[in-house]
Amino acid sequence: MPQLLYLHGSGYTEDSFQAQVQAFPGSDALSLPGHPYGEALGTVAESASWLARYIDWKRTDRAVVAGNSLGGAIALQWALDRPDQAAGLILIGTGARLRVSPEIFEMLDRNWPACIDTLADWAVASTAPTQVRERVKAWHHTVGRDATRTDYAACNEFDVMDRIADVHVPALIAVGDEDQMTPPKYSVFLHERLKGSALEIVPGAGHVVMAEKPDVVNAAIAAFLSSLS
């Protein structure tokens, strides 16, 4: 079975995939550079190269990469750049293009850290447990403003909409039906263009669906991994 890796979203940490690491022995959640240690990478392409080097360093022949938001963008870019390494993609609350609202940059520049409350509200569904919202806030406090802003800037420049047809690996696409950051239409677009992909729209979940509804997401991941065997 290929190595299963997880990549977090903008301003988050590896803790966002805690439930998946626990559910799938041998899987590994990564913290991108600058989250919080080191310097954040400025583009999705740079992060995809970092991921490829990590996989080479681990001496893993092929990997399945699960990414949330920014992490999903990195996974897509990696699959385009290094198809020899890619055994599968799990794209969670992400898209082929990730334009960022100017309001987010304004909040980060003028109202940090008070804006973390708003970012957390936008990241989860209205019915999400308080503990999930508090975890999102903790990720942002850990990562800090500069790396969070760098992440969002990288997302804003990311666009592989005209290259999706060049991705030729199995894919599972998952999204919360209350995702405010990357609404379900982003995932539907991916599903319609990634041949043979599976789409899971999770009721009552937001942008960090893997943390909000881990049982549903983990079941979908397990089925997807079984399909690769």
| CATH number for 78 | 3.40.50.1820
- Helix 70-81 vs helix 44-57: angle between axes, to the nearest 10 degrees? 70
Can you give the pLDDT at residue 120? 98
Angle at the Cα of 32 from the Cα atoms of 29 and 38, rounded to 5 degrees? 130
162-186 pLDDT, tens digit each: 999 999 999 999 999 999 999 999 9
26-45 pLDDT, tens digit each: 999 999 999 999 999 999 99
At residue 159, does pLDDT exceed 90? yes
Rounded distance between C-alpha atoms, residue 45 and residue 81, angstroms? 9
85-100 pLDDT, tens digit each: 999 999 999 999 999 9
CB atoms within 10 A of CB 130: 8
**Cβ atoms 143, 35 nearer than 8 A:** yes
Residues 6+ apart with CB under 8 A from 130: none
The 3-state DSSP class for residue 202 equals: strand
Can you give the pLDDT at residue 15? 98
Rounded distance between C-alpha atoms, residue 23 and residue 20, angstroms? 5
What values do phi and psi take at 69, rounded to 5? 60, -115
Can you give the pLDDT at residue 46? 98
Can you give the pLDDT at residue 101? 96
Residues of the chain with pLDDT > 90, as a percent, come to 97
Query: Residue 83: is the preceding peptide bond cis (ω within 30°)?
Result: no
Can you give the pLDDT at residue 44? 98
pLDDT band at 72 (very low <50, low <70, confident <90, very high): very high
pLDDT band at 61 (very low <50, low <70, confident <90, very high): confident
Segment 137-143 shows an average pLDDT of 98
Token duo for residue 114: 């008070």
Residues of the chain with pLDDT > 70, as a percent, come to 100
Residues 6+ apart with CB under 8 A from 38: none
CA distance readout (Å), 30 to 21, 162, 204, 213, 229: 10, 28, 26, 20, 24
Can you give the pLDDT at residue 109? 98
Compute the mean pLDDT over every residue in the chain, rounded to the nearest whole number: 97
Can you give the pLDDT at residue 229? 81
Residues 6+ apart with CB under 8 A from 161: 96, 97, 189
Domain around 165: 3-228
pLDDT band at 212 (very low <50, low <70, confident <90, very high): very high
Can you give the pLDDT at residue 60? 85
Can you give the pLDDT at residue 180? 97
| Count of domains observed in the chain | 1
At residue 1, does pLDDT exceed 80? no
